[in-house]
A and B are shown apart, each in its own frame.
Chain A
């Protein structure tokens, strides 16, 4: 894989074209890597990319959706803003799934689209589409540039908005004449927009009220989400958890903010989360939500969710407070700041008896589910034992990228993480096809780390063309396809809730190994337990990209499970 370093860019005033200005703006924002796909309306910018290829690396994906997911993977692994570029019309509309994904998962991303020349706007010109109208509901902000002179200021705003406060995707549409036009270029970073408050101030009264509840609670429980990672609050969070001794559970986007093996980490909440934190959500007397938004996949039925508990909500986005769950105390602001400020106000505690309840329930889950997932005695391979095998080789140091479905839940349940920003998955939108391109972005953003993509046979085929990107750009990602020849999660629901009517969930799959080899990627297929450990070892040891297909049991189900509309405490173990 090739990576490039940037040299200082030009910021003093000079007359240049709009398209050259775009490149200078990107460099000024510290961007050294972008993903995209060229086409008519964005060609002037690509012409400049050609001239600046020693400073700004462009990765050609095989589909614009792949460019967005790669930019998301890059952003999630590095904490920096991911950038995706596309042409007008179909190029722009192909970005929408990735943008919607970034919006719901709060991923900082800037998308740049070409647009037909401004005099053609509204004329149904070739490859004209109203991408501003289309992207409005799924962007944090968007803007159409029709004059070259607007470029520096608007791109400065785009990056400021994408990365500040609760991050999100921004789309900037640039007409072809604005790219060709000239401007007096001068770049200044945006530091303030008067109508936009990225993060509310942390209020002392809220901290005092929260600390009082925390210090008097008998059975407090923490549920943390991605806000801890986005706010780079991991250290403050760890200190808070350790001082208060409160059991801490995570949402799937929050995992890796605290090491999996940390003694106070009690596992995952939500539909396929761990037994103890789900059941005890409805027994705790204080629920401390940190940087999470009470998604319905986390809460199950709201009518019965933690109704016995007081709720403290640490949150940067005021619109999330009282949206789904009423907060008795809302601590608004960046949680890095609020958690640091509350630390001296909370008293140390051990909550020994309370922790024992978590341990007792874990034992039940272990006996009923976990041991069968990780060390099965039946003939067919389980997804869990593949994860266990990967853990043994990576020792929890890899970035794990998962797609959407059964394998995603198994991955989040069993993957071990030692460091933050290591679990990359499509949480809110549930975008099948996310993992393969996202893994490309993660690996290019963090080339020194091992990146393993774990994908189902369904989602893999949604963006399988990105194998071409992996091959051409030499991205040494490890790809594991857990093949059960079904759209497994949908099949599981059909089995449980639709009387086993398996409507359109059975997959007749191609020879995945042959396809990978067609892209000159080393590949292996495993069907037997005795082959698994060696195959994983070989994959992790490989310095190039590697494809491993594991044929797993066709009709396994993911448990525990909270059926839709049920209460978290009615979580099913079978």
Chain B
């Protein structure tokens, strides 16, 4: 197995169902694969959900995993893409003491240069929001760390593909269909 390990973004379109997260995570767990990040949201179609996962595996592994994901009853379609094939971003929140904003002028410069956004300010603390690729968020984290960060959180990756996903047409067709048919 000399095949190269790469970062893949997995996009999964599903029906919304309790327990589906368990099913999908079990596919990775069984194969001893770590899920680097995970996010779930609505998709462009009503009642259809979109999951975005990031994993580091070989291409032959990811192909088999996609097959296993698509086998799940509530999964409509799953895709995998490399970083080059996607526009992706993560989002992070930094909670910092408000005093620092006035005592440490350097912080104001860091905020300006990083294009981070101040979400809220009150007497005790302010909250910075930064979206971007992992390296940008990590840079900001390193710059703010010496001043003291009260809380830090980073989201999973969200991504859209550069090329059109054939899913769009499929979803259009599906949106006309009832979820189930009974005779």
Interface residues of chain A, those whose CB is within 8 Å of chain B, are 132-133, 136-137, 140-144, 153, 156-157, 161, 188-196, 317-319, 321-323
Contacts and interface: CB of A to CB of B under 8 A. Distances in A.
Interface of B: 14-15, 18-19, 22-23, 26, 30, 63-64, 67-68, 70-71, 73-76, 174, 177-183
The main secondary structure of chain A at its interface with chain B is: mixed
A319 B15 CA distance: 20
A360 to B, nearest CB: 38
22 contacts: A133-B22, A137-B26, A140-B73, A141-B73, A144-B19, A153-B180, A188-B183, A189-B183, A191-B182, A193-B73, A193-B179, A193-B180, A194-B76, A194-B179, A195-B73, A195-B74, A195-B76, A195-B179, A196-B74, A317-B71, A319-B67, A322-B64
B19 A132 contact: yes
B69 to A, nearest CB: 9
A319 B75 contact: no
Nearest to A323: B64
B87 to A, nearest CB: 26
B22 A136 contact: yes
Given A136-B23, A142-B19, A319-B68, A192 B181 contact: yes
Given A137-B30, A141-B73, A194 B63 contact: no
Contact of A190 (B64, B74, B75, B181): B181
Nearest to A138: B26
Contacts of B180: 153, 157, 190, 192-194
A140 B18 CA distance: 15
Nearest to B68: A319
A156 B182 contact: yes
Nearest to B24: A136
Contacts of A143: 19
The main secondary structure of chain B at its interface with chain A is: mixed
A499 B22 CA distance: 43
Contacts of B76: 194-195
B182 A194 contact: no
Instruction: Please provide the 4 A-B residue pairs with the shortest distance between their CB atoms, ordered closest to farther.
Output: A188-B182, A319-B67, A192-B181, A195-B76
Contacts of A144: 18-19
Nearest to B30: A137
Contact of B64 (A140, A142, A319): A319
A540 B143 CA distance: 84
A144 to B, nearest CB: 8
A194 B73 contact: no
Given A132-B22, A136-B19, A137-B30, 7 more contacts: A137-B26, A188-B183, A189-B182, A190-B181, A194-B76, A195-B74, A319-B70
A194 B180 CA distance: 6
Nearest to B74: A195
Contacts of B74: 195-196
Contacts of A323: 64, 67
Which of A142, A194, A322, A323 has the most chain B CB atoms inside 10 A of its CB? A194
Contacts of A191: 181-183
Nearest to A194: B177
A346 to B, nearest CB: 29
Contacts of A189: 182-183
Contacts of A195: 14-15, 73-76, 174, 179
Contact of A322 (B63, B68, B181, B182): B63
B153 to A, nearest CB: 26
Contacts of B71: 317, 319
A318 B67 contact: yes
Contacts of A156: 182
Nearest to B181: A192
A541 to B, nearest CB: 47
Given A137-B30, A195-B74, A318-B67, A190 B182 contact: yes
Contact of B174 (A142, A194, A321): A194
Contacts of B182: 153, 156, 188-191
B74 to A, nearest CB: 5
A156 B179 CA distance: 14
Contacts of B26: 136-137
Which of A156, A195, A319, A323 has the most chain B CB atoms inside 10 A of its CB? A195
Nearest to A143: B19
A196 B76 CA distance: 7
A193 to B, nearest CB: 6
Nearest to B66: A319
B137 to A, nearest CB: 33
B183 A194 contact: no
A571 to B, nearest CB: 26
A344 B74 CA distance: 37
A439 B15 CA distance: 39
A318 B77 CA distance: 13
B3 to A, nearest CB: 14
A188 B181 CA distance: 9
B46 to A, nearest CB: 13
Contacts of A194: 15, 76, 174, 177-180
Nearest to B27: A137
A318 B70 contact: yes
Contacts of B178: 194
A136 B30 CA distance: 12
Nearest to B21: A136
A194 B70 CA distance: 13
B20 to A, nearest CB: 9
Contacts of A319: 64, 67-68, 70-71
B136 to A, nearest CB: 36
B19 A161 contact: no
Contacts of B30: 137
A308 B183 CA distance: 50
A188 B68 CA distance: 30
A408 B69 CA distance: 34
A317 B70 CA distance: 10
Contacts of B68: 319
Contacts of A157: 180
B22 A196 contact: no
B179 to A, nearest CB: 6
Contacts of A193: 73, 179-180
Contacts of B14: 195
Contacts of B177: 194
B160 to A, nearest CB: 21
Nearest to B65: A319
A323 B67 CA distance: 9
A161 B183 contact: no
Nearest to B13: A195
A140 B74 CA distance: 11
A398 to B, nearest CB: 35
A420 to B, nearest CB: 26
A190 B183 CA distance: 6
